[in-house]
A and B are shown apart, each in its own frame.
Chain A
Amino acid sequence: MSKKIDRRTVVLDQTTRNKNIQHHLNELERDNYAEVPELEIVSGTMTKPRRTVEVDTSQNRKTKARSKKELLRQLSVKRNLNALLEESKIDQFPPNIPTYLTVAAGKSRFPPRKFCSVCGFLANYSCKTCGMKYCSVKCLETHEETRCMKYTV
């Protein structure tokens, strides 16, 4: 509840406001609201009993790139998209070659519309503290009680 006091004294600058918007957009990409209890879900389709990995029979085989076991072991190492993007080095491609990084659509030539963050109708005002929009005194009250500074770390 100490946030309530903060809100009156703190005014977020534009950078922080943009950061909050970005944080919110990232939240919208989540698969699960709550954290996944990791252990309960892994049902062991890829992970073989550890000790068999050490028994290396690949020497006996023909010069195949690697054993299936080794491949699966490599792939069970989790890497997120950011790590894979970095590994792909597509940021170093010549500028005339389109990649994932270059095809994102640009921004609209029309100004953004303003909606009340509480009720979703058109809004004419922004909260002096956090910059979120509201449409009426009633919605401002709700905003101050529940939403204001919610995304601030």
Chain B
Amino acid sequence: MSQSNQIKKIYLLSNLFYIVNIFYIFFNRITFIMLENVLVLDNGAYTIKAEYGTAQQPRVIHNCKIARGKGDKKTFIGDQLNSCTDFSGLYYRLPFEKGYLTNWEVEKGVWDRIFSKEVFNCDPKNTNLLITEPCFNLPNIQRTYDEIIFEAYEFQSYFRTTASWLCIQNDTTSLYNDINFSAKPDCILVVDSGYSFTHIIPFVMNRPVLPAIRRINIGGKLLTNHLKEIVSFRYWDMMDQTYVMNEVKESCCYVSQNFLGDLETCRRNTRNNSILREYVLPDFSRNSQGYIREKKCREESYDQSDEQVLYMNNERFTVPEILFNPSDIGMKQAGIPEVIVESINAVLPEMFPFPVNEVDLQGLFYSNIVLVGGNSLFSGYKSRIEKDLRILAPTDFEIRVGMPENPITYAWKGGNNFITMPEFKEKLVTRSEYLEFGYNICIRKFGFGNETDDLSNE
């Protein structure tokens, strides 16, 4: 069922294609690229999703350095966090600021670690790298990527693109339940809600429509921090417990389908409140995990244990609600469904390579929406977007919203798919090309607006 297998099968079955491909390989400048020499690295602000081209799944590794402020003052880099058992009082050092790579000292520390024998055992000189960068990366930051990759690590070749573009290198039509032929749709709208922010990105014929892309300044980090703040104000002081609060968020929070109704339910007493959850905080001195416990009625809850319990009531859904109503915390931006409409309306027929009418165009986007990024994992996220879009979009449009099984690794999967296509070799810039032509070759091949050449600028 895997998409990359499907692609590989198509190649093998189609003799003609196969022969053309062999010709291509022998007569072009880049020699044969073995998939085991390709490292696909989705460099997210929160986690790195990376593996060699021969793998089926990426490894997910924290993209940060963490130090413990007290006790042994131990530092954990990337995957080493898995060996950490006490998550209290940790200091984070993240390479990204508001979604952009600004701290190369931290990033290089993490990359040194993951390229080492301990993790990927990567020899850059013999490795072709496919790496992601954020949407609308700054030109000066892009230049630093080139320098680090070619001058500091000396990779054999590399291609830099956005995670959202890699997402649509998957067969997105398989995300919808209905029967269809699996031709790639001309229009796809990607909603990428990650750690730093949320982007709405319309693609036409595999290219992003840059003037129609929109960013909402809300991501998983802000949601965790907000939860941390309200919980600290209402119950326990958790301000120093980002790691724990992130776990609470992931296990308790959901997107409400009836916000005002759920808010009313939360006013009821424990017995009749179907929303209230009791989260037992981890006790690191006893090495215990946090978990949601069975609700206890008032009469039996005579303190028999020294468990610290967090009562998660309206916090469960008012936090993810910010993605849909940023104004709830005073941010002057519209929420995801409204911005989807705004973005689709910003795609104009004249941005198209062929004549198309505006209504058809919008219809194509509404029926090819793809949700990716960690925030998609909130239960109820997809159905709420569908529900809100049904209200906001013109009634005669079909609304089709798809979400991959794993919205976090979907970009990596798309990348893993893309490296089997002949276009991949065309996109790669080799180290010798870089040494000869400098940054300009990267600008030309990767596209200026970072998104492999923009459709509207032609």
Contacts and interface: CB of A to CB of B under 8 A. Distances in A.
A10 interface: no
Interface string B149-175: 001100000000000000000000000
A108 B318 CA distance: 18
Nearest to A34: B240
A31 B94 contact: yes
A71 B151 contact: yes
Interface stretch (A1-9, A50-58, A97-105): A97-105
Interface in A53-80: 64-66, 68, 71-72, 75-76, 78-80
B268 interface: no
Q: By CB atoms of chain A within 10 A, which of B97, B112, B242 has the most?
A: B97
B136 A33 contact: no
A119 interface: yes
A137 interface: no
B240 A41 contact: no
Interface in B272-315: 314-315
Contacts of B424: none
B457 to A, nearest CB: 8
A72 B366 CA distance: 46
Interface in B58-90: 65, 67, 69, 73, 75, 77
Contact of B328 (A37, A112, A146): A112
Interface residues of A, number: 60
A45 interface: yes
Main secondary structure of the interface of A (DSSP, over half): loop
Given A71-B152, A107-B334, A80 B67 contact: no
A49 B440 CA distance: 33
B325 interface: yes
Given A41-B67, A98-B136, A104-B215, A29 B91 contact: no
B98 interface: yes
A61 B445 CA distance: 29
A103 B136 contact: yes
Contacts of B75: 41, 43
A25 B338 contact: no
B91 A98 contact: no
A21 interface: yes
B8 interface: no
A75 B93 contact: no
A146 B233 CA distance: 9
Contact of B314 (A30, A85, A96, A120): A120
A65 B225 contact: no
Nearest to A100: B136
A109 B391 CA distance: 14
B2 interface: no
Contacts of B387: none
A81 B339 contact: no
A144 to B, nearest CB: 14
B230 A37 contact: no
Contacts of B240: 33-34
Interface string B224-260: 0110111001100001101000000000000000001
A13 interface: no
Contacts of A122: 260, 263
A46 B44 CA distance: 21
Contacts of A33: 228, 239-240, 242
B407 interface: no
Given A37-B91, A81-B97, A98-B211, A43 B109 contact: yes
A46 B338 CA distance: 44
A16 B396 CA distance: 46
Nearest to B338: A108
Contacts of B242: 32-33
A98 B343 CA distance: 13
Interface of A: 21, 24-25, 27-34, 36-37, 40-43, 45-47, 64-66, 68, 71-72, 75-76, 78-81, 84-85, 87-88, 90, 96-100, 103-110, 112-113, 115, 118-122, 146-147
Nearest 5 A/B pairs, CB to CB: A112-B327, A108-B334, A21-B330, A45-B109, A88-B138
Given A71-B152, A121-B263, 10 more contacts: A29-B222, A31-B92, A34-B69, A41-B93, A43-B77, A66-B151, A84-B140, A84-B141, A105-B333, A115-B318
7 contacts: A80-B97, A81-B98, A88-B141, A103-B214, A108-B334, A112-B327, A112-B330
